[in-house]
Amino acid sequence: MRATTGLNHEQPRGNIRYSGLVRSSQNGVHPRLDDYVRRHLDTFWGQPLHGPSVAAYQELLATGCLCADRPFVLDSGCGTGSSTQILAQSYPQQLIIGVDRSQDRLSRTANLGDQSGNKNYRLVRADLSTFWRLLLRDGHVPTRHFIFYPNPWPKPGHLLRRWHAHPVFPQLVALGGRMEMRTNWGIYADEFARAVSLATAETIRAQRFSPASVVSPFEQKYRERGHALFSVVVSEKITSSFQQCWSQADTVGTKERI
C-alpha cells in the first residue's frame, strides 16, 4: 500500500514517550478506500436509528437547545467533554454540543464540575451515526464541527469503522459547517482528506500542525509524548455545496427514510 500524499508519517519508535502511537500494517492509504467511499456516495444508508440516541436528540429539541435561530458548534466524540468546555469559552455566543457514546467518559466531566461558570454547552450521550443523521434530516447545521482524535481502527480489516469509510460518511460531510478532524495517525488524516476530496471534487489535504494550546485530553497526551499531529479542515463553503448536491441526488427523499 502506498501513501498518496506527501505527508511524512515517520514517527520515533522504541521509546516509552511514544507509546500510544498508532501501529498498523498499513503504510499508506487503504487500497479499497476509494471503492468504499464511492459506494457510500451512491447508496443510501438506511440502517435503523439508535433509539436512545433519538431520545437524547429529542431532548435537545424539547429544551430549545436546537432551534433555527441558535447557532451551535458540534464536538463529535467529545470523550470526557473537556474539549467541549474549552470550546464553550472560545465561542461564548454559541451553544457547544459535545456528543459521545461513552457514559463513563462523559460522567468524568460531570464530576469535575463547571469551573468556568460558562453554561453555553451541553454534553449528550448518543451514537454519532444516528445523531448526525437527525441533525441533517432537520436542517440543523453547525457553524463548526470538530472531530478530535477519532478512534483510528488501525487494522486494515477495520477500514469501514473509520469515519471516512463508514456508511454514514456522506451524511457527515453533508451536515455542513466548517469541519475539522484531528488525529495523531497521518494515514487516517490522508484517508479522511482523500475521502472528502472524492465526495466534494475539491482538493483537500491533511496538514501537520502544532497546537498553540491543547484542546482535548488526547491532544494533551499526544503532545506530551511528542507525537506528530495532523488535521483536515473543510470549509463551510465546501460542505454546504456538497450538502446541496447530495440532497438533490437523493431522489427518494432523505426525510422519509430517516
Ligand X SMILES: C[S@@+](CC[C@H](N)C(=O)[O-])C[C@H]1O[C@@H](n2cnc3c(N)ncnc32)[C@H](O)[C@@H]1O
Per CB under 6 A, residues contacting ligand X are 77-79, 83, 99-102, 105, 127-129, 148-151, 216-219
Phi, psi of 173 (to 5 degrees): -70, -40
State CA 87 to chain mean position distance: 15
**Based on CB atoms, which residue is closest to ligand X, 148 or 192?**
148
The β-bridge partners of 75 are 98, 146
Residue 148 beta carbon to ligand X: minimum distance, rounded to whole angstroms: 4
For ligand X, the closer CB: 100 or 190? 100
Q: Which residue's entry shows cell 466548517? A: 178
> Shortest Cβ distance from residue 99 to ligand X (Å)?
6
Give the three-state DSSP class for 76. strand
Q: Per this entry, what is the length of the chain?
A: 258
CB of 102: closest distance to ligand X in angstroms?
A: 4
- The distance of closest approach from Cβ of residue 223 to ligand X in the complex, given in angstroms and rounded to an integer, is 11
Which region, left, alpha or beta, applies to residue 80 given φ > 0 means left and ψ of -120 to 50 means alpha? alpha
First to last CA, the chain: 37
Residue 153 vs 197, nearer CB to ligand X: 153
CB of 146 to ligand X, least distance (A): 8
Question: What region, left, alpha or beta, does residue 85 occupy, with left being phi > 0 and alpha being psi -120 to 50 degrees?
Answer: alpha
Q: Largest Cα–Cα distance of the chain, in whole Å?
A: 54
Give the nearest distance from C-beta 237 to ligand X in angstroms: 25
Identify which of residues 80 and 197 has a Cβ nearer to ligand X in the complex. Answer: 80
Closest Cα partner for 147 from 34, 230, 44, 47? 230
Q: Which is nearer to ligand X, 103 or 244 (CB)?
A: 103
Please identify, using beta-carbon distances, which residue of 105 and 194 lies nearer to ligand X. Answer: 105
Residue matched to cell numbers 435537545: 60
For the chain, helix, strand, coil in percent to 5 are: 45, 15, 45
